[in-house]
Structure 1
Amino acid sequence: MSAAESPVVLDVQGLHVDIRTASGVVHPVRDVSFQVRRGETLCIVGESGCGKSMTSLAIMGLLPRATHRRARAMSFLGEDLTKLGEQRMNALRGDRLAMVFQEPMTALNPAYTIGEQLMEHYRHHRGASGAQARERAIELLQKVGIAAAGDRLQQYPHQLSGGLRQRVMIAMALMCAPELLVADEPSTALDVTIQAQILRLLADLQKELGIAMVLITHDLGVVARIADRVAVMYAGQVVEEGTAAEIFARPRHPYTRGLLDCIPVPGRTAPGSRLGSIPGVVPSLAGELRGCAFRERCPHARAECSQPIPLRDEGAGRRWRCIVDLEAVAA
């Protein structure tokens, strides 16, 4: 069964996140919709501050207290996440719904050993004995490529390198064999070699275990390596969505085109040549945004861009928010 024919694991429709501040309401996530199927990897990509991490935290129910989440629908395997009580949500988190956080040194508790942290939530969710939890922890550490796994259980986070800590975080997320894995910038703090290893590990584990994965990143190189589908976010809104092949071959939104122009392409970008750039800055997310949020930075902006921009749908999950036909402009 292909990913396109697989059951929908996560269905997000019309997700909004609002933060009340002394100077007004900030809207870091605005009307975001997407689906993730079993065995599929969806990459959510965009500049820092575009709402990617807030979207992931909204899915997990881990938003700050001053934040309000609302959605037309947000279901995980048929359960409406917006209507679940804290007890049911706690039962899902770490069990069928897991997350790899952006910075493993702050996500891992420095006061407890790796083994204690791996075993604790497995015993909590599975009712396992200490021996069973230890066996499972060793199994997962070996699966993520950590040698001498039994000895590592006695170590504290500060005794491990950044790459090893990230592997521990992945092992922890997989302890209870989740249906959905949300990974928020899992390779950002790592050097290029270790980053490639972590991405290859995630791709291999996802294929082996058949889990659905939402990968948050700002790196289109990461997207090219691992994504099945891509959602491009700007100013809290998904501005383009499609398969990875479609996004890279035929970007339909000027922002996506701008991101791709910033990347050197082997064999096409001449050494020493100037890369593309996107002028300006992301607009403030306080208050309501009217029209296209990208229009102040867009080389194709028109007067109509100040009006509400309808979602253009080509079918088969190919959607974008722009009134300009980029292919006609390029021709």
Structure 2
Amino acid sequence: MSMTLLTVDKLSVDFGRGATALHAVRDLSFCVAEGETLCIVGESGCGKSMTSLAIMDLLPRIARRSVAGMTMGETDLTRPGGIRAVRGNQMAMIFQEPMTALNPAFPIGDQMTEAYIHHSGATPAAARARAIEMLNEVGIASPEKRLGQYPHQLSGGLRQRVMIAMALMTSPKLLIADEPTTALDVTIQAQILRLLRDLQKRLGIAIIFITHDLGLVSRIADRVVVMYAGTRVEEGNVAEIFDNPRHPYTRALIDCIPQPGKTERGAMLGTIPGVVPAMIGDVRGCAFRTRCALATAGCEGVIPTHGTGSHQWVCLHETTLQEGTT
């Protein structure tokens, strides 16, 4: 059985204070096992990217992070210096938009070797050799030539591969991929997904894959955390989430995508009315209640957690959920 690599307990991210505070992430808890892929999925504005930045301690200065506990292996990431001991070394991140994540003023080689030299103490020559090795690893031809090129000289797919290679320079145990295929066409998306799967098998790394696309989730995930309005509404392995979704929001997301063998050609796909609420000030009850067809007056109160083991969901009444399946 795989050992737990990362544990996050009651993570919250707030902007501002008091009645006007924006609660971007609210009491979020999850764990990641060694070698597994955990997908965090939800609409834009649900707090997925803020979660990844909070784990890496890369939040904007105006943001406030609070967490009951966060560990990676035996390292307590909440203690002074804890995150600096693993960030960029044991834990690395692929940012959402490689054109803005890569510095346009420096060649690719300089950007790839900087963190490696810092963490490993390697010589520039050794770091350059490592960069060439990693560019080969992610399938980039003529890596020696690429090291001298600038980001604007590369296509979107190549920039994304460079970001992956850069993240793998220090042989991390955990890779956080924040919507790494969003700006790519479908063909390049498939190539990046295949690359991540192959790298994971060969290197044994764990991946937190952040996306709003359930189609990608079904192809890469081992377990899934469904987020809504900054908090977790459902969690389970990928088969449980797709075959037996329990929270109304998860069901609504799945209804919005065509499913092979289930969705008839020409059939109307589902939609979710309304928008994600602005999580400002005092937040009570189920945030999805204003968009949920199963909502009751009780949804404004404390919402219990249902389920056991790996499959858990947050909703008011199990009887209400059962009625929604009939």
1:150-169 equivalences in 2 (<5 Å): 150-169=144-163
Aligned match of 1:179: 173
Corresponding residue to 2:311 among 288, 295, 318:
318
Aligned match of 1:245: 239
Tell whether 2:217 aligns with 1:223.
yes
Aligned-partner residue type, residue 2 of structure 2: S
Tell whether 2:78 aligns with 1:82.
yes
Identity between Structure 1 and Structure 2 (%): 63
Q: Is the 8 A contact 1:91 1:125 kept in 2?
A: no
Deviation of 1:21 (Å):
6.6
Q: Is the 8 A contact 1:44 1:230 kept in 2?
A: yes
Aligned match of 1:283: 277
Deviation of 1:277 (Å):
0.4
Instruction: For structure 1, list consecutive stretches of 5 or more residues without a partner in the other structure.
Output: none
Aligned counterparts of 2:300 and 2:85: Cα–Cα separation in 1: 45
Deviation of 1:204 (Å):
1.0
Aligned match of 1:127: 121
Aligned counterparts of 1:245 and 1:92: Cα–Cα separation in 2: 32
Aligned match of 1:267: 261
- SS of the residue corresponding to residue 49 of structure 1 reads coil
Aligned counterparts of 1:193 and 1:23: Cα–Cα separation in 2: 46
Aligned-partner residue type, residue 46 of structure 1: G
> Could you report, residue by residue, the CA deviation over 1:245-300 in whole angstroms, capped at 9, with x for unpaired residues?
10000000000000000001123222222110011111111012111110110011
Tell me the matched-pair count. Answer: 324
Aligned counterparts of 2:33 and 2:92: Cα–Cα separation in 1: 15
- SS of the residue corresponding to residue 279 of structure 1 reads coil
Aligned match of 2:29: 33
- SS of the residue corresponding to residue 21 of structure 2 reads strand
Aligned match of 2:325: 330
- SS of the residue corresponding to residue 257 of structure 2 reads coil
Q: Alpha carbon RMSD of aligned pairs, Å?
A: 1.3
Aligned counterparts of 1:195 and 1:76: Cα–Cα separation in 2: 29
Deviation of 1:77 (Å):
1.2
Aligned-partner residue type, residue 229 of structure 1: R
Aligned-partner residue type, residue 271 of structure 1: R
Q: Is the 8 A contact 1:70 1:82 kept in 2?
A: no
Aligned counterparts of 1:197 and 1:83: Cα–Cα separation in 2: 39
Q: Is the 8 A contact 2:94 2:175 kept in 1?
A: yes
Corresponding residue to 1:24 among 7, 14, 20:
20
- SS of the residue corresponding to residue 78 of structure 2 reads helix
Task: Give the direction of change, closer, same or farther, for the CA distance of 1:267–1:7 in structure 2 (3 Å limit).
Answer: closer
Deviation of 1:324 (Å):
3.7
Aligned counterparts of 2:85 and 2:154: Cα–Cα separation in 1: 29
- SS of the residue corresponding to residue 12 of structure 1 reads strand
> Could you report, residue by residue, the CA deviation over 1:158-208 in whole angstroms, capped at 9, with x for unpaired residues?
000000000000000000000111110000000000001001111111121
Aligned counterparts of 1:231 and 1:21: Cα–Cα separation in 2: 28
TM-score (norm 2): 0.96
Aligned counterparts of 1:287 and 1:113: Cα–Cα separation in 2: 45
Aligned match of 1:257: 251
Q: Is the 8 A contact 1:309 1:322 kept in 2?
A: yes
Aligned-partner residue type, residue 204 of structure 1: D
Aligned counterparts of 2:238 and 2:260: Cα–Cα separation in 1: 18
Aligned counterparts of 1:22 and 1:102: Cα–Cα separation in 2: 31
**Segments of 4+ in structure 1 off by > 4 A?**
none
TM-score (norm 1): 0.95
Aligned counterparts of 1:118 and 1:168: Cα–Cα separation in 2: 8
Deviation of 1:33 (Å):
0.4
- SS of the residue corresponding to residue 171 of structure 2 reads coil
Q: Is the 8 A contact 2:19 2:281 kept in 1?
A: no
Deviation of 1:22 (Å):
9.7
> Could you report, residue by residue, the CA deviation over 1:128-155 in whole angstroms, capped at 9, with x for unpaired residues?
1122111111110011010111111111
Q: Is the 8 A contact 1:300 1:324 kept in 2?
A: no
Instruction: For structure 2, list consecutive stretches of 5 or more residues without a partner in the other structure.
Output: none
Corresponding residue to 2:131 among 126, 133, 137:
137
- SS of the residue corresponding to residue 186 of structure 1 reads coil
Aligned counterparts of 1:217 and 1:69: Cα–Cα separation in 2: 22
